[in-house]
A and B are shown apart, each in its own frame.
Chain A
Amino acid sequence: MKQNEMAVIMNGVGKKYRYGQIGAGTLQGDLKEWYQRKKNARNQERADTEDAPYQIGETFYALKDIDLTIKQGETLGIIGKNGAGKSTLLKLLSRITAPSEGNIKIYGRVASMLEVGTGFDGELTGRENIYLNGAILGMKRAEITKKIEDIITFSEVGDFIDTPVKRYSSGMYVKLGFAVAAHLDSEIMIMDEVLAVGDMAFQHKCLDRMKAAAKQEGKTVLYVSHNMHTIRRLCDRCIVLDKGKLLFDGDVDTATAIYLGAEDIQQIRYEFDADYRPYDKNIRLNKRFNMDVLEVLNTSVPEYEEGEVPCLRLTCTSEQYFPKVGFRFELWYQDGTKTGTMLSGNTAEIKEGKNVLELRPDLTHLTPGQYRADLVAYLYDSDGNEDILDGVYPGFAFTIRNSLNERHYLDWHHQYWGHIRLHDMQVARLPYLEREIDGQ
């Protein structure tokens, strides 16, 4: 049966890298590094006792023990945090680099779109580049000739096709690149977020094209993305990678929930260390104010009914006096879409030293599901300018229970309706108008 044919089989695949710069680039540098490694080996015992994160020359696994079977016609989403091994996996499958352990069987031709327009040369015209790019991706000249009209139409570059691509806008360049890749006759297509480019209409077109490739032409699609929406739109199976290991393999909803860290949603005490401030450098100009601990009170599980008001206690340290500090929760739904933002209705006076504050977010309007809230403390002036004092990502995670009461019989469809249930509208029958209409 065609449906059961295999596309990719990976057996215990691992990829090892070495910490530090690999190869110093000069012979002298390599000798130095080699000496360094020798020395490290001798001092291994000492290094172990010290709190060294790693030694130069030590190896680590970007991927380890990956067993994966992909059937033909499947669209597989690959998600994971940065450094989880997604790109390494794609590189192995597209044969850019070889595995250090295990083996891979690939049935059919692989078209990898780790970048659009690979090998485009600015001096060549669009048409010449289609041929070159197509050939690099493994197409025959005759195949390209057969498809070139489709490719040109799809790319929307029109009359510019015989102009050197160095005169193209970046959008046109990307569209042309994708058009070539999308028309490959390969059985397996690998994409690394190339869709994150181009205008919205074109992105939709690309996704539809990939969907058609999978559903109608029976192609296998492997897709890496941080955007849970496109994953959901395109994929019917999803794997989650974490620190080089396969964490989950199965349906898309569970996978996205796991990826978004739904498993740590039980937390009721947060100690905000550096892990909570990944963007610190970009947003915080000063270190005058620091949020230290957030505790969720009066409950052992952060689960609430819609409309409940949790009680949170925030401990912070300040190096100076601030008369008015505002706080806000920026809410994210479990699929990674922003739900909305909740500002503190008033401000808090912050004195030098330790401060203990109570936060009482009102959870009215939130629909059932899991949310994470980034907590931001900021100063602001009457012109609407803000100065961020501190931000933690996330500051608080919680679940809104799906409790059936008379207003909530309906299952909430987050993907169509959003995550906020606005104020109810009233509906009433007007019997006297019915009589009037009947009377005519």
Chain B
Amino acid sequence: MKTNYTYIESNDSGFRLNLKELWDYRDLVLLLTKKTFTLSYKQTVLGPAWIIISPLLSSLMYIVIFGVIAGMSTNGIPQVLFYLSSTTFWTLFAASLTSNAYTFLNNAHIFGKVYFPRIAVPVSNVLVNLIKFAIQMIIVMGLLIFYTVKGDVHPVWQLWPLLPLVLIHISVMGMSFGVIVSSLTTKYRDLSILVSFFIQLWMFGTPVVYPLTQLAEGSTIREIMMYNPMTAPTELFRYILTGQGTVLPGYCAASVALTVACALIGIIVFNRVEKTFMDTV
């Protein structure tokens, strides 16, 4: 008799992350990624060019509103570079969250008919966002090199190997939040209305369109903002890129710890929901 079999037990819930199974389905992850990518730009005039155009447009908007009208400081970093790099970085996080916030609801028709490791969907969503990020970084790098040569910014090259870790960290954090939200939206759909509003609020609570130094040292608002798990990574990213930014090792560690905790909770919640959500949805 063959010994390799799938065992389905009624009372098995809790922590179970079957990475081997996910690896077996790696082709599905890639195909889903490709599908999401192709479908976002089918029947559009500019196609994938939107990946670059949309952050440029929002950066332009921030330059006008925060740079010109409000006259906020960017700590000497050229405004274009400051806003573009910040939005690109923030978008990676926000998109990882929002694209996964509806995993169960949007895929109910597939999940209800066939089994595959459900985690493939969030993972492919993150891959899509990472690819978009990489494309946007080409422009950011162009600007960065231009201003470095000009002498306006001084990238901290020795810390660049850290960059991938920072990116993985915020993608996983976004994905974990998204997965938790999506697990909850199977029961409480009104939660999904809150998500987009909450993300916007979160962005303004993170030093994305202004540097952290804009807030006075020791002020209450700054104290509160330090607890925002996105604050430290955003400042670190800015510091590595431009040499301007507040490095907060303690808060970075706290942020990573939070991500790990969220990822664990996310996996547990996701496992529970993926087994029975077809009965509730």
- Please indicate the chain A residues that have their CB under 8 angstroms from the CB of B150 in the complex: none
Contacts A97-B278, A132-B31 given: A118-B114 contact, CB under 8 Å? yes
- Please indicate the chain B residues that have their CB under 8 angstroms from the CB of A110 in the complex: 6, 115
Q: Are B115 and A94 in contact (CB under 8 A)?
A: yes
Residue interface mask B82-108, A partner, CB < 8 A = 1: 000000000000000000000000000
- In B17-54, which residues have CB < 8 Å from any A CB? 24-25, 27-28, 30-32, 35, 38-39, 42-43
- In A93-140, which residues have CB < 8 Å from any B CB? 94-108, 110, 112, 114-115, 118-119, 121, 123-124, 128, 131-132, 135-140
- Please indicate the chain A residues that have their CB under 8 angstroms from the CB of B188 in the complex: 25-27, 30
Give Cα A168 to B8, complex, Å.
38
Give Cα A203 to B187, complex, Å.
40
The residue of chain B having its C-beta at the shortest distance from the C-beta of A26 within the complex is B190
Residue B220 at the A interface, CB < 8 A? Answer: no
**Residue tally, chain A, CB below 8 Å to B:** 47
Q: How far is the CB of B41 from chain A (nearest CB, A)?
A: 11
- Please indicate the chain B residues that have their CB under 8 angstroms from the CB of A94 in the complex: 114-115
Contacts A22-B279, A97-B275, A100-B10 given: A121-B35 contact, CB under 8 Å? yes
Most B-side CB within 10 Å, residue of A114, A132, A135? A135
Give Cα A100 to B278, complex, Å.
14
B10, B24, B35, B115: which contacts A95 (Cβ < 8 A)?
Answer: B115
A27, A96, A108, A140: which contacts B278 (Cβ < 8 A)?
Answer: A96
- Please indicate the chain B residues that have their CB under 8 angstroms from the CB of A138 in the complex: 24-25, 28, 116
Q: Are B276 and A114 in contact (CB under 8 A)?
A: no
- Please indicate the chain B residues that have their CB under 8 angstroms from the CB of A99 in the complex: 8, 10
Give Cα A354 to B83, complex, Å.
88
B5, B8, B31: which contacts A98 (Cβ < 8 A)?
Answer: B8
The residue of chain A having its C-beta at the shortest distance from the C-beta of B28 within the complex is A135
Q: How far is the CB of B108 from chain A (nearest CB, A)?
A: 11
Residue B200 at the A interface, CB < 8 A? Answer: no
A97, A105, A119: which contacts B110 (Cβ < 8 A)?
Answer: A119
Residue B7 at the A interface, CB < 8 A? Answer: yes
- Please indicate the chain A residues that have their CB under 8 angstroms from the CB of B110 in the complex: 118-119, 136
Q: Are A97 and B276 in contact (CB under 8 A)?
A: yes
Q: Are B113 and A114 in contact (CB under 8 A)?
A: yes
- Please indicate the chain A residues that have their CB under 8 angstroms from the CB of B279 in the complex: 17, 22, 97
Residue interface mask A1-39, B partner, CB < 8 A = 1: 000011000000110010000110111001000000000
Q: How far is the CB of A124 from chain B (nearest CB, A)?
A: 7
- Please indicate the chain B residues that have their CB under 8 angstroms from the CB of A103 in the complex: 7-10
- Please indicate the chain A residues that have their CB under 8 angstroms from the CB of B28 in the complex: 135-136, 138
Residue B224 at the A interface, CB < 8 A? Answer: no
- Please indicate the chain A residues that have their CB under 8 angstroms from the CB of B114 in the complex: 94, 96, 112, 114-115, 118-119, 136-137
Q: Are B5 and A30 in contact (CB under 8 A)?
A: no
Q: Are A91 and B278 in contact (CB under 8 A)?
A: yes
Residue A388 at the B interface, CB < 8 A? Answer: no
B1, B9, B24, B187: which contacts A6 (Cβ < 8 A)?
Answer: B1
Residue B112 at the A interface, CB < 8 A? Answer: yes
Q: How far is the CB of A236 from chain B (nearest CB, A)?
A: 21
- In B98-143, which residues have CB < 8 Å from any A CB? 109-116
Give Cα A119 to B28, complex, Å.
12
Q: Are B276 and A98 in contact (CB under 8 A)?
A: yes
Q: Classify chain B's interface size.
A: 35 or more
The residue of chain B having its C-beta at the shortest distance from the C-beta of A102 within the complex is B10
Residue A204 at the B interface, CB < 8 A? Answer: no
Give Cα A148 to B60, complex, Å.
48
- Please indicate the chain A residues that have their CB under 8 angstroms from the CB of B113 in the complex: 96, 112, 114-115, 118
The residue of chain A having its C-beta at the shortest distance from the C-beta of B30 within the complex is A141
B7, B189, B275: which contacts A105 (Cβ < 8 A)?
Answer: B7
Residue B280 at the A interface, CB < 8 A? Answer: yes
Q: Are B2 and A106 in contact (CB under 8 A)?
A: no
Q: Are B31 and A101 in contact (CB under 8 A)?
A: no
Q: How far is the CB of A407 from chain B (nearest CB, A)?
A: 53
Residue A92 at the B interface, CB < 8 A? Answer: yes
Most B-side CB within 10 Å, residue of A108, A136, A137? A136
Q: Are A105 and B5 in contact (CB under 8 A)?
A: yes
- Please indicate the chain A residues that have their CB under 8 angstroms from the CB of B2 in the complex: 5, 107-108
Give Cα A99 to B6, complex, Å.
14
Q: How far is the CB of B141 from chain A (nearest CB, A)?
A: 32
Q: Are B10 and A101 in contact (CB under 8 A)?
A: yes
- Please indicate the chain A residues that have their CB under 8 angstroms from the CB of B24 in the complex: 138
Q: What are 21 A-B contacts with C-beta separation under 8 Å?
A: A23-B187, A23-B280, A25-B187, A26-B190, A27-B188, A95-B115, A97-B279, A98-B275, A100-B10, A103-B7, A104-B6, A105-B5, A105-B7, A108-B5, A114-B113, A115-B114, A119-B114, A131-B31, A132-B31, A138-B25, A141-B30
Known: A30-B188, A103-B8. 15 other contacts (CB 8 A): A25-B187, A25-B188, A26-B189, A91-B278, A95-B6, A98-B276, A104-B7, A106-B5, A106-B7, A107-B2, A108-B2, A114-B113, A118-B110, A119-B114, A137-B114
Q: B residues engaging A (CB < 8 A)?
A: 1-2, 4-10, 12, 24-25, 27-28, 30-32, 35, 38-39, 42-43, 109-116, 187-190, 275-276, 278-280
Q: A residues engaging B (CB < 8 A)?
A: 5-6, 13-14, 17, 22-23, 25-27, 30, 91-92, 94-108, 110, 112, 114-115, 118-119, 121, 123-124, 128, 131-132, 135-141
5 tightest A-B CB contacts, nearest first: A95-B115, A135-B28, A98-B275, A141-B27, A104-B8
